[in-house]
Chain A
Amino acid sequence: MRPRRATLKDSEQQARIFRHRSIVAAFFVLIMFSGLIGRMVWLQVVQHDIFITRSDKNRMRVEPLPPNRGLILDRNHEVLAENRPTYNLTLVREQAGDVGQTIARLINILDLPEDQHDVLTQRSRERLRSYEPALLLSDLNEDQIARVAVNRYRLPGVEVEAQLIRYYPDGEWMSHVLGYVGRISQDDQQRIDTSNYAGTHFIGKTGIERFYEDELHGQAGVRRIETNARGRALREISRTPPQPGKNLTLTLDSKLQKLGHELLKGKRGAIVAIEPDTGAILAMVSEPGFDNNKFVTGIDTKSYAALRDDIDMPLFNRASRGAYPPASTVKPYMASAGLEYGLVQPSDSVYDPGYYQLPNDSRRYRNWLRWGHGRVDMKRAITVSNDTYFFSLAHRMGIDRLSEFMHKYGFGEDHSLDVWGAGSGLMPSRDWKRGRYNQAWYPGETLSVGIGQGYWLATPLQMATAVAVLANDGRWVRPHLAMQVGDQQIEPPFENTPDNVELDNPRWWDLIHQAMENVMVGGEGSGRASGRNLQYRMAGKSGTAQVFTLGQKEKYNAAELEERLHDHALFTAYGPVDDPKIALAVIIENGGGGSKVAAPIAREMLDAWILPGLKSSEEAQRHARQNESAAQQIVTGD
């Protein structure tokens, strides 16, 4: 009872103590809550700007919108490279629920082999985040798309997604000039503005696709999206649409290109055709080709190795990079050099016993015709492709002047405007030989170079360019592939165009034109077999290059390599002579004689390009004549 009494006795005092303490507590609570409110003011008012920025940064994500790649068209607006929609099957694990069951149904619906189950299951796990679509199957066909569409309700989380993929309808015979696009590699990262390529998967790797990459690619757009903490996109906040790549119209004529491809079929060789007036490349064929579509999505190592190691080198662009001795096709240029340097007059002649000897040298440099052409002047020397005449001329010119003048025709340099990776060949000189071999230049080497052999190497593109310059009476236009980029016309004059080839007497050009025309139509012309029934004036020059670079080992190889020891057949041509519309160079590796093998191909190409225009203009003329005579009749009738 004692404690109770104590309680009773002191209860009033205790109540007072408690009241006192609770008032203190009430104040304490007030102060502490004020502290919390102060903290809120600090965060929500003073630091508000910092946190609103941080919360926006949290929720907003910038996503790139890749632009559509520009199309590539030929001069007649035929599509050479387009963007094909492909359909891929994707699976979102988060939505699929039972992934195994969904995949089993999918296999059933698409009639896939049972062993695909593991493969697809594996692929479905490739994405770390379960809400991101994982690629199950790519490039579905229409039947598969339809089957998936019909069974959609049974396939939760499965979607058919469209993706644009580069497609080259004429892969086999356009592959070298167009090049191809491929997945962006580490190396590619170095040469691009990565922010512009953030959403792009493909980039031009070679050819036109590479050269005009910037124009074809376009400008990436951007969209800002709101995401949740796991990164899932919830809605779009703003969007800057991408600017699609520019369409590219090429100077190529796909019909002519296709014809070149067919003419070279089964052979190794190249054709380059140029419109002399504009420098437009009309055809640039390299055989054998390859299907560049295979490179777009990534070629498998085995197929790639097969292409790479193929002895015929299908991946190699012979037209722009192949270096061949230009052989006798250089004789007209040599003639022009001789005239310009005043070393010969057109009427000067040389006696050809079948060989040429340097003074004080017993070695005989043989003409291709063992018994010789007898007395030959310049015109005949070109027409019959006499070697002795040009040995003599080269000797008198000397390597320095020879090399200098041939540079004027573009040999030894790449003057193309937009041919990606074009080779510059090799125009030998005294300095070059000293730098390369640390040896002096021997006079005998000048003779070989004088007939386009020896160290002299040129690409088919250079040979075609040189003959186009010749057809132009020396006027230079840089060869190019692009005719129109977007709205912009690509037309001469171009920057860095080489100086025109000037001759003291412009009539000398006519002399050379006549000599080359004689090649086709003259009684002794080396190309006369291909010059029958010409409906226009065609000029040409044959060449036969000895294959001199063969490793020691290869001699022991099979009969196939025997064929590879054969001469390269070359032919350069242009026409019509009075108004050249086309100039071209043909080379067929190990084809044999240029006049026999390459000349018919040149003729067909020229016919194909010139005849249709000729016909229409003839018809136009006939029409005009008829109208004229009708008008006259009316006049006389009166």
Chain B
Amino acid sequence: MKFTKQTKRDLYTCVMVILFYVVIQVLDKAGVLSFHIKGLLVPLCYYSIAAVALNLVVGILGDLSLGHAGFMCVGAFSASLFSVAVKESGMPAGLRFLTALIIGTLMAALFGFLIGIPVLRLNGDYLAIVTLAFGEIIKNFLAAVYLGYDEEGLHVAFKSFQLKGEGKMLINGAMGIQGTPTDSTFTISIVILLLALFAIQNLVNSRAGRAIMAIRDNRIAAEAVGINITKYKMLAFTVSAAIAGTAGVLFSHNTSTLTASSTYFGYNVSILILVYVVLGGIGNIRGSIIATAILYILPELLRGLNSYRMLIYSIVLIVIMLINWAPAAIAFRERYGIRAFIGRKRENSGKEVS
């Protein structure tokens, strides 16, 4: 069997993830990993998944979304709601978590689709700010809603209320959802990361993926050769939202308390994921995973650096953008034949066609 260069590159990415998993398992068996480090593994996976999902929109589709934390929030809440509701019904834990994952992913996909309809008509800055707005609306809405059931049925309100007789509060306003079963394990998270990688790499290398990249490089030219802009933009955005939703499910099933607070689902989280994507290389799927791993684990290991961590991130973010995108820097690189520092390979895409 012969592989193309791209397939090989994709396989290396998967092998890299599997190797990472094996190394961690070996270290765990040897008893080297502290409890603290083990607690970081699942978050590392869901942030990687979110970063890969965001890279599909930012790198492959070429639109900036600042609302991916909102899709994580949708996935997290819908899946947690399901898990809490069926917790006492005797459903086997494996099946319950699988269903929760599917529900979270589908709900996020649905929201991605619905939000995509208006959002994808916009361009550039407007698109970024509207996705941010949607993310904040989702978060604020879920932080304000109360949902519970009792003898009289299901109640939804924006004020705290009393349940009559037998019943349970499912979403308790700003207190969120309590008692989500902690089903997320490192193994499951790695499997889902691999699945997400598989889905995205296949999409990117397909006919649809090439259409999406054509839209990114020149929307008008793509339209002229008959590519259905709306369809492919929606496809990329919905898939990205769905995968971000899966990351959200892993998030919500990692701890038993889930609240829609700014710390977890605010636009700052979307920006943090964007930092992972940009530092890993816009459009470079493998880079997103590596950047997330380094940026997430390293500061936790170097506790002393922690107060400087975000400062360093921000400086690195600015410097990388300047080196990679400034016309003067591009001209300098072209003259001396230096490859872009980090980022997708741009064959002539930086040049204006005149």
Q: Do A and B come from one complex?
A: no
